[in-house]
Structure 1
Amino acid sequence: MNIHGIHVTFRGLLHTACLLLAAYAVTALAQMPDRTKTTQARPEAELRTTQVVGIVVDASGAVISGATVRIVRADGSVQCTENADDAGAFSIALSTEGKYRLFVSSPGFLTREIVLTLHAGENIDPLRLTLGLRPVNTTVDVQGREDDLEGIADSGTQGTVGAKEIQNRPILRSGELLETIPGVIITQHAGGGKANQYFLRGFNLDHGTDFAIFIDGMPLNLPSHAHGEGYADMNIVIPELVQRVNFEKGPYYGDVGNYSSAGSAHLEFFRTLPQSFVQIEGGMYGYGRMVFGASHKLGAGNLLYGGEAYHDNGPWTHPDNYYKFNGLLTYSQDSDGNGFSLTARGYHGQWHSSDQIAENAVPLVGIFGTLNSTDGGHSQRYSLQGESHRQGANSQTKVTAYGFYYDLDLFSDFTYFLTDLNRGDQFEQQDRRWAAGLDARHTIQNEWFGRRVENTFGLQVRNDWIHNGLYQSQDRVRGDKTDSETGNTLPATTQADLLTDTQVGFYAENRVQWANKFRSVVAMRGEVQRFSVTSLVTSANSGTAIKALPSPKASLIFSPWERTEFYAQAGFSFHSNDGRGTTLKVEPVSAENPYPNTLATPIPALIPTKGGEIGIRTAALSHLQSTLSLWYLHSASELQQSGDTGGTVASQQPSERYGFEWANFYTPMEHWTFDFDLANSKALFTETDAGDAAPNSLGGKRVPEAVGVVIASGLTLHDLKGFSSSLRLRFFGPRDLTSDGIYRSNTTALLNGEIGYTFLRSWRGSVEFLNLLNRHDHDIDYAYESRITPKVESAFTEVFHPVEPFQARFSLRRTF
């Protein structure tokens, strides 16, 4: 069986049955009167000892070894505490009649409580106590999607992906490990060192505006970022050190606030590795990588350390020459559900960038060419975080604290010579920040009128001290420019600010098991966000803004029959806007606004969203896990790509999205798995939008860049006589590029494969084949106005970044 005994062997069942029979026999013998002795006149309750015996199992029937069994008298005093043996069995002697409460707990499981009433001369039948796993946003030890989350998850679109599935997927870039989440697409529109583009539930999420990502509880998204709100750079992640990815979709979860309207992902890293390893990789287009990880005992705890060195040129005419270095160091202790961990992380990357290219520039520079060879950037992030957790008989407490330093210097050019015919349109975005935060939660388990209840109270505080700016540049050198249409000067410093972005979130969540087949989750979250901005360019744009927002949420879960659950959910959430916009009174002089002293209207600090969902999860068919969900989401506003600056701007009207997701994971036999995930969504403005339409168009209601059909499917062979392999399809359908639907992208369909072989027990060689069919699709598409050379007229045309062509990558891994 696996760690939680998803499948119980016949031997294990037989062993369990024998233990129960033996325990029952011991109980019966212990209660038989001794006919060789004469009893004296005293109460029967004092003559006999009753053995309370039983076995502790999980929802699948697998035994839970080492579980803590505590018996408490009616007056609250502890009668005794014992741990179940390796077979999950326990036996406790009680010599006084009366009422008792029995508590059974184990790390990673919900605490179980039952009431015992002992009467003189009465036997107690052997107990079989089943513990349910805790919700997936806490520690759940799973290996992959084959784990049944019935009784655990709160929706059909909540789940967990383990390291086993992550490592069996061929990936082009580290961010693609998030594509293990059904419906998620990860792409790139610039150099490899830039944060990915995220697509989910009818969103082009840019770099993370409505998709929250956490690294061991530390948020990855960056508010008020120089390039885009919610910027989330997955380059700091070493995929081999990720133990699991827990995910949920929709605004229904009290413990997640900013950026979570479409969904959220919680990456949990190993504290101890199953095996230490070192791996080297090489491949086409200058690809090379070395990664290692090791863990061992140190004192009363465990030390884990790992690192990554990476280089890739890509197929571009002007190579990316992307270098990155990652390091991770973790020390942890855990005993009986109590422990702590300390983790240090470091990342540094630098790259050139072949940005998106206008369609009419392909004859000039080729599909893999660039119109500005000096685009690129560098970034780094260094963090320290600590976590402490404690578990009592009826409570759990977890506190995470973190701090990090981050910087980015990014040079981009999306419109080429549209603004300045002589110096071009390159611009620089710079972000420097220190950030610190705290996430504390306390859970209390008790009973209300005989119903099992779990109440959680949480507080999340984060503060970012930011220095960012937007600058005009040529060949990475800042300088003034001239707007070709008006003749006005565009100063080298378009915008520069010092700002403090403070976020405070607090929530209360209530879980009630009303009946064996019905439970509910109700939460209320409150958010307070404060911006303090000091403009280094225009003093009128300095100021303070504060906004509070409540977000109620509710989930109802029904279990009408075995291994099947139905879900109904509704909730509110939000995303924050850039703090600089909340105090903006005068428009910066830029390509979008070449006129000085233009008055501006501040934007809202927080953008509310609301949504609903119904779904089903079933494992009724043998070896098949399947979920189906129908969802709806309303956003008061959203961020859109701005072709003139490469930044984002808020829409002028609300939007509505709806769709469905169908996810399947099938394990027909021991070494084979098949998954098929299908999602489709529609995104519409509530009113006609003329601001993002094709020339001479009145506009329309379609949200540009909104993802529609997404298919992810794969067939995987696991460890068959040393062999393993995987074949995966990654598909996302056409998207509207303008609100009127005149410009649309084509379909993108990629087939990737991997084959590996383990030899000499500790060596493994493998080869990945990316874009097996060598398709010339696009990673991402836009449509806007640009000018590819100073001597041609500007044109409104499709702009795209191509997928990388077929390539092979080889790796050799040694475990020890």
Structure 2
Amino acid sequence: MRSIAIICCLLFMGKMTAQKIYGRLVDENQIPIEGAYIFNIQSESHAHTNELGTFRIKESQIGDTLRIGALGYSTILVPLQEKSYVDPLEIELEESALELGEVVVRPKTNALSVLSAIDLKVRPVGSSQEILQKVPGLVIGQHAGGGKAEQLFLRGFDIDHGTDIALAVDGMPVNMVSHAHGQGYSDLHFVIPETIDNIDFNKGPYTADKGNFATAGHVDFKTKEVLENNRVGFDYGEFGWNRGLGMFNLLKTKKDKAYVAGELLRFDGPFESSQNFSRVNLFGKYTKQLWNDAKLSMGVSYFTSKWDASGQIPERAVNSGRITRFGAIDDTEGGTTSRSSVTLKFQKPIGKQGFITSNAFFSRYDFDLFSNFTFFLVDRENGDQIVQRESRNLFGFNTVLNQNIEWGDIDLRLRAGVGLRTDMVQGNELSRTLNRGTVLQNIQLGDVRESNFNSFLEGRIEFGKYAIVPGIRLDHFRFGYLDNLRTDQEEGKVKKTRLSPKLNFLFDPTENLQLFLKTGIGFHSNDARVSVSQNGEDVLPAAYGVDLGSLFRINSKIFVNSALWYLHLDQEFVYVGDAGIVEPSGRSERYGLDMGLRYQISDRVFFDSDLTYTVARSKDEPRGINYIPLAPDFTASGGVTFYGRNKFSGGIRYRYLDDRPANEDNSIVAEGYFVVDANANYELSKGLTLGLSIQNLFNTDWNETQFATLSQLRNESQPTEEIHFTPGAPFTVRASLQYRF
């Protein structure tokens, strides 16, 4: 009767008046599909789904047809009937082969994330090293035995282990503030790569809901709610590589989903002194559909790792024949680390035009790292080995409200949120040691208490093909440090607040093109020990950024992104090798060009490439001695992925890092490299796949990480400053066998 009444009313008016249609998209497992595109063929109005899979499309009437598509799903046509005005549409999409023709850049504020969505569909993540390599333009380097967090390079930054990029997994921050090894230290090895479902990233300080460390950019990883299938696998390779993987669904119903995953890894490495690397990862996730479309999920993880390492070695020791490229000066380096975490997430719709998302997290973290950067420069008898260690409890929450508001022809989308993060660190230590056993001298030893309360408000005002996205963020920090080496000193405390405005402009002339101008202010916090000692001066240095760029689907096969950008930092962080820490330095500026290409050569062959050119300079030093150590000026990565007709698949990947200055006057140069990897897979039978991968296909001699360091060997009378490096992997073959059921 209700449907008849609506129709009669419309007929009485003489014509079918355009209405708003509400709906929800899910996949075959009833998981919401975010970022899907809904297009009314008759009125040419459009909409997209939010993270709950819901959408609202205007200017639609009975008899119209909606075209609905999403990346990796079959496009469907939905005719609007009279019941479409009464009840929200419930639509299920089927997965299909990837077609770049399905890419629509228009819907999302952060359309850059479509790049990682394409890459994940084409090349699912298969190793911890690949997790961050999914971010276009991000280059990584591993050193110290594989257990230490990767060194990161992005937009002319040597980010070290995370000083200028904000990382999170399921809403839990990964960056460690006031870490024993360096500010923003980010170890992602606790994530099992095959559990990753979505990667959201953006470059620059332009997003209001991202705060500390989000200067060069941010990356948010989201894990799967349910597994496509159960999986067991085993990898075996050269240099003692062994990896076992198991992933199993426990529940897979419309309202309840749960799975567990586990990873065991052993690796000796190509070094003459074995790395003895081992890692254990366990992860479980449960998702419950509640009343009124509310949803609750919980993730639990446990990670532990230990390793020995040859660490960084001086060029002169290799050139003189004292050691080989894979030798060691101090082979007693190494470390252990562990992380246990619990995350909770609650989502609930609020009417038809809004929803609220809340998450809470707790993590227990332990870290011990033994290093020797200078060998016998400081202590001629015992050597210069140091230990950096800490035990940390990290906990907090975030709550975000999303609400759509209509003002005539103007759509306003509001996002507002509050959050709290607290780090309680015991035994934050830097000490000189001997053979990883004897503490010779405590250099720093204390307890850190650091809290960050934040709130933000962001709006998206849409009118026609234009959108303005203003935002404002407020961060309040409390730094506390108790120096345990001084019995006469009470805990030092400092408070600091920073306001970070953002303003972005978007223009979408077609569903294939987006032009954008992004501006914003971000920041990276300083170490609590520095903040307290400086009495709150320059502890939240600002970063000022602007991007001018475009995303363009040229045709159904080619997708291109580009951006000209500029970033000014009030304070640079510089790695200090002899102390093994990161210290604050002066002002800096960076500007450059980002380019990316995704090309579907055929329905089974994909090509991708990302290039970044950057100029990075210190603003407080004279010309010629104003280089920023290890800041790359040109990086490139990409490759070809193919899916054969006879159960074959595989690909070839490359990465390139140009020569870059290793010190301020460019008198010491860190050599660049070009490395190619390859892989191939063959489906032996249904569900059973044999794989082969080759690292460093052309057996290139390359240095994965490099630093200009002043050091002295035992038999030397004078110290020398030169490149110290960790050698990259030689030609390495690995085989894998996986069974899905």
Give the SS at the match of 1:209: coil
From 322, 334, 356, the counterpart of 1:364: 322
Residue 605 of structure 2 is aligned to residue 672 of structure 1: yes
Q: CA deviation at 1:554?
A: 1.2
Question: 1:531 is matched with which residue: 479, 502, 509?
Answer: 479
Map of 1:485 onto structure 2: none
Correspondence 1:582 to 2:531: yes
- The answer to whether 1:320 aligns with 2:275 is yes
For 1:366 and 1:270, how far apart are their aligned partners in 2?
Answer: 44
Per-residue deviation at 1:55?
Answer: 8.7
Which residue number in structure 2 is paired with residue 623 of structure 1?
A: 557
2:422–2:451 contact (8 Å) kept in structure 1:
yes
CA contact (8 A) 1:280 1:289 kept: yes
Partner of 1:98: none
Aligned-partner Cα distance in 2 for 1:604–1:810:
51
Q: Distance in 1 between matches of 2:220 and 2:597?
A: 21
Residue from 493, 501, 504 that aligns with 2:450: 501
Q: 1:196 aligns with which of 125, 129, 150?
A: 150
Deviates more, 1:182-191 or 1:378-387: 182-191
1:381 lines up with 2:339 in the alignment: yes
Cα distance in 1, alignment partners of residues 121 and 583 from structure 2: 35
Match of 2:399 among 440, 444, 451: 440
Residue number in structure 2 paired with 1:398: 357
Amino acid in structure 2 at the alignment position of 1:432: S
Query: Whole-Å Cα distance in 1 between the matches of residues 13 and 554 of structure 2?
Result: 50
Does the C-alpha gap of structure 1 residues 800 and 374 become closer, same or farther in structure 2, counting only changes over 3 Å?
same
CA distance in 1 between counterparts of 2:475 and 2:39 reads 46
**One-letter amino acid of the structure 2 residue matched with residue 365 of structure 1:** I
Report the CA distance between 1:647 and its aligned residue: 0.9
1:614 to 548, 552, 557: 548
* Paired position in structure 1 for 2:76: none
Q: Give the Cα separation in 2 of the matches to 1:176 and 1:787.
A: 36
* Aligned counterpart in structure 1 of residue 64 of structure 2, from 122, 127, 131: 127
Aligned match of 1:112: 56
Give me the whole-angstrom Cα distance separating, in 1, the residues matched to 2:483 and 2:604: 60
Query: Could you tell me which residue of structure 2 aligns to residue 593 of structure 1?
Result: none
Q: Secondary structure at the match of 1:367?
A: coil
Separation of aligned partners in 2, 1:395 and 1:520:
19
Q: 1:292: which partner in 2? A: 246
Please tell me whether the aligned partners of residues 185 and 200 of structure 1 are also in contact (alpha carbons under 8 angstroms): yes
* SS at structure 2 position matched to 1:228: coil
Report the Cα offset of residue 155 of structure 1: 5.5
Match of 1:412 in 2: 371
**Does the alignment pair 1:747 with 2:672?**
yes
SS at match of 2:189: helix
Task: Show the counterpart of 1:681.
Answer: 614
Partner of 1:707: 632
Residue 230 (structure 2) aligned to one of 231, 254, 276? 276
Name the amino acid aligned to 1:533.
Y
* 2:574 counterpart residue number: 640
Q: Give the 3 Å change call, closer, same or farther, for CA 114–616 of structure 1 in structure 2.
A: closer
CA offsets per residue over residues 736-764 of structure 1, 9 Å max, x none? 10111111122211000000011211100
Give the Cα–Cα distance (whole angstroms) in 1 for the partners of residues 420 and 147 of structure 2.
29
2:311 maps to 1:355: yes
Aligned equivalent of 1:82: none
CA contact (8 A) 1:326 1:345 kept: yes
Q: Please say if residues 750 and 771 of structure 1, whose CA atoms lie closer than 8 Å, have aligned partners that are also in contact.
A: yes
Where do 1:3-82 residues align within 5 Å? none
Contact 1:541 1:583 in 2 (8 A): no
Kept in 1: contact 2:116–2:136 (CA 8 A): no
Report the 3-state secondary structure (helix = DSSP H, G, I; strand = E; otherwise coil) of the residue aligned with 2:160.
Answer: coil
Residues 301 and 108 from structure 1, CA distance in 2 versus in 1: closer, same or farther, beyond 3 angstroms? same
How far does the alpha carbon of each residue in 1:759-793 deviate from its partner, in whole angstroms, 9 at most, with x for none?
21110001000000100011122112100224442
Letter in 2 for 1:338: A
Describe the superposition over 1:284-330 as per-residue Cα deviations: whole angstroms up to 9, x where unpaired: 00000001111142674011100000011110111111000000010
Do structure 1's residue 452 and structure 2's residue 411 form an aligned pair? yes
CA contact (8 A) 1:401 1:439 kept: yes
CA separation in 2, counterparts of 1:89 and 1:658? 38
Say whether the 8 Å CA contact 1:145–1:165 is kept in structure 2.
no
**In 2: Cα distance, 1:241 partner to 1:169 partner:** 10
Assess, with a 3 A threshold, how the Cα gap between structure 1 residues 283 and 163 changes in structure 2: closer, same or farther. farther
Look up the SS of the partner of 1:165 in the other structure.
Answer: helix
How far apart are residue 504 of structure 1 and its match? 1.1
CA distance in 1, matches of 2:705, 2:409: 55
| Structure 1 residue 170 displacement after superposition | 8.6
Is the CA contact (8 Å cut-off) linking 1:546 and 1:605 kept in structure 2? Answer: no
Contact conserved, 1:167 with 1:240, CA < 8 A, in 2?
A: no
1:425 matched to 2:384: yes
User: Which one is further off, 572-581 or 784-793?
Assistant: 784-793
Q: Per-residue CA shift, 1:346-393, capped at 9, x if unaligned?
A: 100000011111111212121111111111000000001110101230
Which residue does 2:294 correspond to in 1? 338
Q: Secondary structure at the match of 1:176?
A: helix
CA distance in 2, matches of 1:682, 1:161: 25
Using the alignment, how far apart are the partners of 1:295 and 1:246 within structure 2?
A: 25
CA distance change for structure 1 residues 125 and 734 in 2, over 3 Å: closer, same or farther? Answer: same
Alignment length, in residue pairs? 695
Kept in 2: contact 1:712–1:731 (CA 8 A)? yes
Aligned match of 1:800 in 725, 728, 732? Answer: 725
Q: Which amino acid aligns with 1:553?
A: K
Gaps of 5+ in 1: 1-25, 32-42, 68-87, 91-102, 117-123, 135-139, 481-491, 586-600, 690-697
Q: 1:407 touches 1:431 (CA, 8 Å); kept in 2?
A: yes
Query: Please, what TM-score do these two structures have when normalized by structure 1?
Result: 0.80
Percent of counterpart pairs with the same letter?
Answer: 27
Counterpart AA for 2:387: E
Query: What one-letter code is carried by the residue in structure 2 that aligns with 1:619?
Result: R
2:86 corresponds to: none
- Which residue, 234, 247, 250 being the options, matches 2:204? 250
SS of the aligned residue for 1:393 comes to coil
Q: CA–CA distance in 2 between the matches of 1:364 and 1:564?
A: 58
Give distance in 2, aligned partners of 1:47 and 1:612. Answer: 51
Distance 1:750 1:611, change over 3 A: same
Aligned residue identity for 2:629? P
Q: In 1, Cα distance between the equivalents of 2:580 and 2:199?
A: 30
Alignment partner, residue 83 of structure 1: none
Shift of 1:448: 2.3
- 1:744-783 matches, within 5 Å, as 744-783=669-708
The residue aligned with 1:476 is 436
| Counterpart-to-counterpart distance in 1, 2:283 and 2:508 | 42
Query: Is the contact between residue 541 and residue 584 of structure 1 (CA under 8 Å) also seen in structure 2?
Result: no
Worse overlay, 549-558 or 124-133: 124-133
Question: How far apart are the structure 2 equivalents of 1:408 and 1:240?
Answer: 25
- What is the aligned counterpart of 2:508 among 528, 544, 559? 559
Root-mean-square deviation (CA, aligned residues, Å) is 3.3
Greater Rg by CA: 1
- Gap change, CA 1:350 and 1:218, over 3 Å in 2: same
CA deviation map 1:618-652 (0-9, x unaligned): 1132311110101100001121110211111111x
* Selected match of 1:259 from 213, 218, 221: 213
**Aligned match of 1:137:** none
